[in-house]
Amino acid sequence: MVYITSWDEFVERSVQLFRADPDSTRYVMKYRHCDGKLVLKVTDNKECLKFKTDQAQDAKKMEKLNNIFFTLMSRGPDADVSEVTGKEQTEAQPGKKGRGRKQ
């Protein structure tokens, strides 16, 4: 289990690992608040990829990786993940104007 230092390499190899064997690949996140460290692990019981960070801005990258895996798991391993972003664009819902009674 060697930590991959490059985020882009970790994402690319993780997607390749999932596409090679989607039934046995799993993705684990572990956050240690006392250390402020986030560890991401993708494994298929044969190969294990790990990425460790203590940077707060990497939370957005983790969100994008989550969305990539959600896309691959829901649409199948052959899905195109190039258009997946950190936050999916949803239709803007009108906000409530006030807290008063409904008329």
The pLDDT tens digits of the residues spanning 23-50 come to 999 999 999 899 889 999 999 999 999 9
Does residue 14 carry a pLDDT above 50?
yes
Give the global pTM: 0.74
Give the model's confidence band at 98: pLDDT under 50 very low, under 70 low, under 90 confident, else very high: low
| Predicted confidence band of residue 100 (pLDDT cuts 50, 70, 90) | low
Task: Annotate 52-103 with DSSP letters as a single string.
Answer: EE--TTHHHHHHHHHHHHHHHHHH-TT---TT--SS---PPPPPP--SS---
Residue 40 exposed, middle or buried by CB count within 10 Å (0-12, 13-18, 19+): buried
Q: Label residue 76 left, alpha or beta by phi (over 0 means left) and psi (-120 to 50 means alpha).
A: left
Question: Quick one: fold of 2-81?
Answer: 3.30.720
At 12, is the pLDDT very low, low, confident or very high (cuts 50, 70, 90)? Answer: very high
| Per-residue pLDDT reduced to its tens digit, 39-91 | 999 999 999 999 999 988 888 888 888 988 888 888 887 777 777 665 544 44
